[in-house]
Structures are given as structure tokens and as C-alpha cells.
Amino acid sequence: MKGDKEKLHPYNALEKEKKVSFGNDTPAVIKGKGFVLLKEKFKARNVMYVDGLKHNLLSVSQMCDQGNEVVFRSNGCVVRELDTGETVIKCIRTQNNLYILKGGQQQCYLSKNDEHWLWHRRLGHLSFSQIRKACRFQAVSDLLDINIPEKTICK
């Protein structure tokens, strides 16, 4: 999601505006979409233009839906293509628990708060208590202990 429609190539306005909700359930209006060149040859497709957004946000679930995996670590994260295993984006973690893509053509933010939902979907909508159990027993590689969200109903 972006707050600058000039960065979308091509920018396509939506005929009927849609809404997106953030982590605090605050809705925002999606006015259009396009793609963004994140690195020399790497495009993020179906990037939504949200008017008034101050920062560019990169959706972890959309990155995964586009054939990538996102791996979070304590000091940063990487986005890799599933087919080739090639790292396409590297991010650093800030003190505010934001993961920032630097050095690319755009600057985007990933939130650590979304990781629990990412693992929930990756593991076939497994309950959060079972995901925590998998963490304790180290049953899944690269699965760090996650926070259980307040609202645990899938959308």
C-alpha cells in the first residue's frame, strides 16, 4: 500500500472504491492500484494506492501470494522467490519493530505485528495455541515465538 500514486506504474483508478483495514481496525479507502519496481528487476504487483497514507507499506501476505516467502529474524527480514530461492529484498529492523527496505528504488515498511497472521495462513489456518506449541517444540524451522493477536477470527 502506498500513499504516492505517482510511484505506481501504471496507475489504474478503481471504478468502485474499496476499503482496507489496518492492525487497529481503522479503515482506509483504496483509490487505485498498479505495480512498483522495488529493485532493478523485482516488481510488487497489485500495489494499492491509499490516499493520505504517509508511508509505503508492503503486505507480507501479498508477497507470499506472488510466489515469495518472507522470513523474519531479530535483526531484519528477507524476501525470497520460492522457485529459485533467490533473495530479492533485504530489510532491517528498527527499534520500533518496523522492517525497512533500504537501498531499493522504494522504501517500504513491514510490521512484525503481521507475522502471527502470516504463520497462521502458512500453516493451513492452524489455531494460534497450536502455533505457539509448535514454537515451543521447534517443530517448524524458522518459526519464532509469535504473539497471539487479540482478535483471532480469520477474515
CB under 8 Å to 75, separation ≥6 — which residues? 92, 93
Determine if the pTM surpasses 0.95: no
**Would you state the pLDDT for residue 120?**
76
**List of the chain residues with pLDDT < 50:** 1-2, 104-107, 109
All cell numbers assigned to 34? 498498479
d(CA 24, CA 60): 17
**Which pLDDT score is estimated for 48?**
81
pLDDT given for residue 36 in this prediction: 77
Question: Alpha carbon of 107 to those of 28, 53, 54, 81: distances in Å?
Answer: 21, 13, 12, 19
pLDDT digits (tens, 9 = 90+) for 112-150: 556 677 777 777 788 888 888 888 888 877 676 777 777
Whether 33 and 46 have beta carbons less than 8 Å apart is answered as yes
Strand partners, 49: 2, 32
Answer for the pair 78, 90: CB distance below 8 angstroms, yes or no: yes
pLDDT value of residue 41: 66
Q: How far apart are alpha carbons 85 and 79 in whole angstroms?
A: 9
Q: How many CB atoms lie within 10 A of CB 92?
A: 13
pLDDT at 24: 67
- The whole-number pLDDT of residue 106 equals 46
